[in-house]
Amino acid sequence: AGVCGVLSVSSQRSALAGVRVYGHGEHDLRQLAAGRMLHPRGMPLRRGVGEVLSVATSDTYRVAGVAWSIAQQAATMGALLFASTALLLISVPLGVAVLVGAALVLWGMQALARPLERLGMIEQASVAGASEVATDAMAGLRIIRGLGAEDEVTRRYRRASAASLEGAVATARKLVTYDAVSQAVAVAYLGALAFAAARLAAQGTITVGPLVTVVALAQFL
């Protein structure tokens, strides 16, 4: 319990640091994006108002999330190394199993995440397209009414909005599948580790105290 408490506190502190870096990073990215857009020679290609808005909001939000991910992964690696060291001191086979199993789990989940990354990029592009159509329509509303082109603009926005919706739904479905697979893999991995520790305890290789420690560390991992 004490070991898991120390690891939990360390992870929470790393998460708080990530939140601070994330907040400042998102603000700085928005300032940089605005400065680049407003600079006379800031962009080689002209961007629509909607696309600029999407970049300055949704895109900066996702890019700044890298800071959160780095802090979270650093805390995860620190906890993994600490727990693996403790398990190695209890039982070398258990410690090796944790390291090898963690490497296999990370490799497998990374392979599953690649389609999700591609869908995320498609979703961002479709959101920017829908936002651009909407802002262009609002900027030229008087001209659109004068030409009687309301129906055509409505059709264009509906197509762009439908594409954005399809991208968001596809990404959400893939994310739910990824989370479900991640949870299943984690349960199987930790169950196998706890079973191996119980076998060692039954054989007298480790005592009840180390068994409880192994199970606690397994749950934390």
| 108-150 tens-digit pLDDT | 888 888 877 777 777 777 777 777 777 777 777 777 777 787 8
DSSP secondary structure code for residue 1 in this structure: -
- In this predicted structure, what is the pLDDT of residue 80? 78
Judged by average pLDDT, the poorest of 47-51, 161-165, 166-170 is: 47-51
Distance CA(141)–CA(107), nearest Å, equals 52
Distance CA(9)–CA(18), nearest Å, equals 14
- In this predicted structure, what is the pLDDT of residue 11? 55
Who has greater pLDDT, 163 or 1? Answer: 163
Distance CA(33)–CA(27), nearest Å, equals 10
Q: Hey, what are 147's tokens? A: 């030409």
- In this predicted structure, what is the pLDDT of residue 9? 56
Instruction: Report which secondary-structure segment, H or E, holds 91.
Output: none
pLDDT exceeds cutoff 60 at 14: no
pLDDT exceeds cutoff 80 at 26: no
- In this predicted structure, what is the pLDDT of residue 15? 57
- In this predicted structure, what is the pLDDT of residue 10? 55
Distance CA(38)–CA(203), nearest Å, equals 72
pLDDT digits (tens, 9 = 90+) for 69-110: 777 788 778 887 888 788 888 888 877 887 788 788 888 888
Check: CB of residue 75 under 8 Å from CB of residue 14. yes
For residue 173, which of 119, 130, 122 has the smallest C-alpha distance? 119
Task: Name the pLDDT band for 8 (thresholds 50, 70, 90).
Answer: low
Judged by average pLDDT, the poorest of 103-107, 139-143, 151-155, 200-204 is: 139-143
Whether the model pTM is above 0.75: no
pLDDT digits (tens, 9 = 90+) for 38-66: 777 766 666 666 666 667 666 777 777 77
Exposed e or buried b per residue across 78-100, where buried means at least 16 C-beta atoms within 10 angstroms of its C-beta? ebbebbbebbeebbeebbebbee
Who has greater pLDDT, 179 or 26? Answer: 179
pLDDT exceeds cutoff 70 at 4: no
Q: Which long-range contacts (CB under 8 A, 24 or more apart) does 40-49 make?
A: 48/132, 48/135, 48/136, 49/132, 49/135, 49/136, 49/139
